């Protein structure tokens, strides 16, 4: 009797664990499958010409060079605007802010910034940077829009990185007479640098893959040349993929897979780089 009850309990445990493992497999396998699928289907398209030539025949032939350059510009622009703000805000929240309503409000705002839908950032960019500031549909407006979106990421990662700096370091610096800013500048920031870089790389990776906002604030499908100034329109990889896949008839499938692969490689390599830097920094500290 007793052993039978025990057996059935063990059986139900085994069934349950089987289901949990199944759930994990359902999560993991499609991820690996779709990455592999893109790599296999896209690899044949990738050639030196595909990466370095501008598109021709309305995107049906030629390469995607301007889209790669545009995405690179966007990544740099986003970083330029969001990183300094993120680092300074991170310093404020960790070193200067008191535990009061204002700080709680700032933290709440950061949390919610991360949850605002990307298309809403697009509307914001359109209303503020494109129209109100008069930047027009441009690289500048798009970079600023993506920077606003990246803000939550750069602030949080900087804050975490600064928080992880041992207190003794700061106390030592203050004890020998350094001012607070000197301490932050010469002790805290260098120590927090790997964490801050991780956040910066993640923000760039996000900017490279983001489509909905740039769809609204200035990405173009075909342009005669590369953007000459920040006020020019631009091509970008994610927008290019969207257009060739969903809008232009008669584009060969291999071209689409090729664009998808290039975009995926850019975004994921930056992601992996960020992870590696984070792990390195953690190992060094321990």
Partner 1 sequence: MKQAALATTAEASLEKVLRRRWRWGEKFIESGIFLNGLLAIVVLLGVLVLLLREGLPIFLYTSPWEFFLGTKWYPVSEPPTFGIMPFFVATLMVTMVATAIAVPIGVGCAAYLAEVAPARIRETVKPIIELLAGIPSVVMGFIGLMLLSPLVQSMFNLDTGLCGLTAAIMLSMMSLPIIVSVSEDALRAVPDEFKEAAYALGATQWETIRHVCIPAALSGIAAAVMLGVGRAIGETMTVLMVAGGALAVPYSPTEPMMPMTAAIASGIGNAVRGGLQYQALFAIGLILFIVTLSVNLIADRVLERQKRKFAR
Site for partner 1 in 209-228 (CB under 8 A): 209-212, 215-216
Nearer to partner 1, 100 or 228 (CB): 100
The 3-state secondary structure of 13-35 reads: HHHHHHHHHHHHHHHHHHHHHHH
Checking 119-122 for CB contacts under 8 A at 24+ apart, the result is: 119/212, 119/213, 119/216, 121/145, 121/146, 121/148, 121/149, 121/212, 121/213, 122/212, 122/213, 122/214, 122/215, 122/216, 122/217
Tell me: does residue 268 bind partner 1 (CB under 8 A).
Answer: yes
Per DSSP, the residues of 87-122 read HHHHHIIIII--SSHHHHHHHHHHHHHTTS-HHHHH
Among 1, 5, 27, 175, binds partner 1 (CB under 8 A): 27
- Scan residues 40-79 and list those touching partner 1 (CB under 8 A): none
**Residue 208 sits in the site that holds partner 1 (CB under 8 A):** yes
Nearer to partner 1, 39 or 228 (CB): 39
In the 8-state DSSP scheme, what is residue 73?
A: H
Among 1, 2, 5, 32, binds partner 1 (CB under 8 A): 32
**262 is a site residue for partner 1 (CB under 8 A):** no
Residue recorded with tokens 């697009």: 122
Binding mask 96-125 for partner 1 (x = CB under 8 A): xx-------xx-xxxxxxxxxxxxxxxxx-
By CB under 8 A, name the one of 64, 68, 264, 281 that touches partner 1. 264
Q: Residue 228 or residue 246: which is nearer to partner 1 going by CB? A: 246
Among 36, 58, 61, 88, binds partner 1 (CB under 8 A): 88
Q: Which is nearer to partner 1, 113 or 193 (CB)?
A: 113
Check binding of 23 to partner 1 (CB under 8 A): yes
Q: Judge contact between 162 and 90, C-beta under 8 A.
A: yes
Kindly state whether residue 196 participates in binding partner 1, applying the rule CB under 8 A.
no
CB of 252 to partner 1, least distance (A): 13
Given the rule CB under 8 A, which of 162-170, 177-185, 190-198, 227-235 is the region that contacts partner 1?
Answer: 177-185
Residue 232 in tokens: 């020019």
DSSP state letter for 232: S
Count of residues touching partner 1 (by CB under 8 A): 85
| 151 in contact with partner 1 (CB under 8 A) | yes
Verify binding: residue 91, partner 1, rule CB under 8 A: yes
| DSSP H stretches of helix in the chain | 2-43, 48-52, 65-91, 101-113, 118-125, 139-163, 167-175, 180-183, 189-209, 212-217, 237-246, 253-285
Torsion angle of the four alpha carbons 108, 113, 114, 115, in this order, in degrees rounded to the nearest 10: 90
Instruction: Candidates 61-69, 160-168, 227-235, 258-266: pick the segment binding partner 1 (CB under 8 A).
Output: 258-266
CB of residue 53 vs partner 1: minimum separation in angstroms?
22
Question: Which one of 205, 232, 234, 251 is in contact with partner 1 (CB under 8 A)?
Answer: 205
Instruction: Indicate the DSSP class of residue 228.
Output: -
């Amino acid at each position: 009797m007793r052993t039978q009850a025990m057996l059935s309990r063990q059986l139900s445990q085994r069934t349950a664990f089987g289901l949990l493992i199944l759930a994990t497999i359902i999560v993991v396998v499609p991820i690996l499958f779709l990455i592999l699928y893109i790599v296999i289907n896209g690899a044949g398209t990738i050639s030196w010409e595909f990466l370095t030539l501008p598109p021709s025949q309305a995107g049906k032939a030629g390469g995607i060079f301007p889209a790669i350059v545009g995405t690179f510009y966007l990544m740099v622009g986003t970083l330029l605007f969001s990183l300094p703000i993120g680092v300074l805000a991170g310093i404020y929240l960790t070193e200067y802010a008191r535990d009061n309503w204002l700080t709680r409000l700032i933290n709440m705002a950061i949390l919610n910034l991360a949850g605002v839908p990307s298309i809403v950032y697009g509307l914001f960019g359109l209303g503020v940077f494109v129209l109100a500031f008069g930047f027009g549909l441009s690289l500048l407006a798009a970079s600023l829009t993506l920077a606003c979106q990246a803000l939550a990421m750069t602030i949080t990662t900087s804050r975490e990185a600064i928080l992880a700096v041992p207190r003794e370091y700061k106390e030592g610096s203050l004890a020998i007479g350094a001012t607070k800013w000197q301490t932050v500048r010469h002790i805290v920031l260098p120590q927090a640098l790997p964490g801050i870089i991780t956040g910066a790389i993640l923000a760039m990776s996000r900017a490279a893959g983001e489509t909905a906002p740039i769809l609204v604030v200035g990405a173009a499908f075909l342009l005669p040349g590369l953007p000459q100034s920040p006020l020019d329109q631009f091509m970008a990889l994610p927008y290019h993929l969207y257009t060739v896949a969903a809008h232009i008839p008669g584009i060969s499938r291999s071209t689409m897979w090729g664009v998808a692969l290039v975009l995926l490689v850019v975004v994921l390599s930056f992601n992996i780089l960020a992870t590696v830097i984070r792990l390195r920094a953690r190992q060094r500290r321990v």
